[in-house]
Amino acid sequence: MQIKWEVFYILDKKYFFFDIDGTLAEYMTGIIPQDTLETINALQRLGHFTAVATGRLQADAINICHSAGITNLVSDGGYGLTINDVLVELTPLQNDLCKRLIDELEDRQIPWAISTENSNNRFTKDARYLESVPKNYATNIVLPELDYKKEPTIYRVFIACNSQTQNTLKSILALPTVRFREEYVVIEPDDKGNGIRRMVDHFGGNYSDIVVFGDGNNDINMFCPEWTSIAMGNATDLLKEKANFVTLPYNEGGITYACRHFKWIE
């Protein structure tokens, strides 16, 4: 699909933020549809601001950004900001709350893993964790002598448990959770809306000019009333209810369709 556009001085500059998995790209592979790439390029050439907003770690998400020709990134569920390809902010989870949760997991012999660095490495002391979670883009490393109490920073906690077991964990209530599969739950930041505000503040933009695209329930907190929120056709019903507009699925030209609908591109 070829996108037609002309370069001109834009008075109505928008700030576009795209979730990755199921919105900008295919989950797991990170492949971005060609029409989406052309639309992002057209938006940039017309003077609009483009960025990615994701729950993924910065070190992982930045590669997707580069494949889309994007240099600005709200990562780590709003806890990380990369501006013009420079990581300027990366805040870990609250350390004492994470360790309190892991104490409870240890007492109950529930397998877990942690992310302690800006990478796709996950560390666990229990090989059972490897048997309980599906293989994906992360590297799971077993360290039998791992002492989580000595870790100064924790960016993620991964728990190999189903929803029923999760509901019995007392310490988990003080932390943000995301469940992508029934086999495990992830403790990760969940404040992309705040990260988007900080990014736009940095560039002196107006919140009313923000446009966000998402597909999952973990995108709900970036579907804010101050700006335009667009749900993909493959989005959850809950997210569609919060959206200002529902477009086509990500792999059927959803981003391009929405941008044409609002006349942001021709």
pLDDT score of 3 more than 50: no
User: Rounded to the nearest 5°, which phi and psi values hold at 86?
Assistant: -110, 125
Structure tokens at 32: 């971005």
Banded pLDDT at 136 (limits 50, 70, 90): low
With beta carbons less than 8 A apart as the criterion, state whether 176 and 120 touch: no
pLDDT digits (tens, 9 = 90+) for 24-80: 999 878 899 999 999 999 999 999 999 999 999 999 999 999 999 999 999 999 999
**Residue boundaries of the structural domains of the chain:** 15-91+190-261, 95-187
Both tokens assigned to 88: 């300027």
Give me the pLDDT at residue 137, please: 65
* pLDDT computed for residue 76 by the predictor: 96
Residues forming a β-bridge with 141: 123
The secondary structure of the chain as a DSSP string is -PPP------SS--EEEE-TBTTTB-TTT-PPPHHHHHHHHHHHHTT-EEEEE-SS-HHHHHHHHHHHT---EEEGGGTEEEETTEEEEE----HHHHHHHHHHHHHTT--EEEE-SSSSEEEES-THHHHHS---SSEEEE-TT--GGG-S--SEEEE---HHHHTT-SGGGGS-EEEEETTEEEE----HHHHHHHHHHHTT--GGGEEEEE-SGGGGGG--TTSEEEE-TTS-HHHHHH-SEE---GGGTHHHHHHHHTTS--
> Taking 80 as the threshold, does the pLDDT of residue 135 lie above it?
no
Q: What is the CA radius of gyration of the chain?
A: 19
* 103: confidence class by pLDDT, cuts 50, 70, 90: very high
Q: Look at residue 9 in the predicted model and tell me its pLDDT.
A: 47
Query: What does the block give as tokens for 188?
Result: 């990760």
Q: What angle do CA 72, 78, 81 make, to 5 degrees?
A: 35
> What sign does the dihedral 128-129-131-137 (CA atoms) show?
negative
Q: Do the Cβ atoms of 51 and 16 come closer than 8 Å?
A: yes
The rounded distance, in Å, linking the Cα atoms of 87 and 213 is 23
95-187 and 15-91+190-261 share a CATH fold: no
Residue type, 189: P
Averaged pLDDT score across all residues of the chain: 93
CB 81 within 8 A of CB 198: yes
pTM (predicted TM-score): 0.89
Structural class in CATH, domain 95-187: alpha beta
pLDDT single digits (tens) 182-225: 889 999 998 999 999 999 999 999 999 999 999 999 999 999 99
Give the domain 15-91+190-261 fold. Rossmann fold (3.40.50)
What are the structure tokens assigned to 157, written together? 């906690």
pLDDT higher than 50, residue 8: no
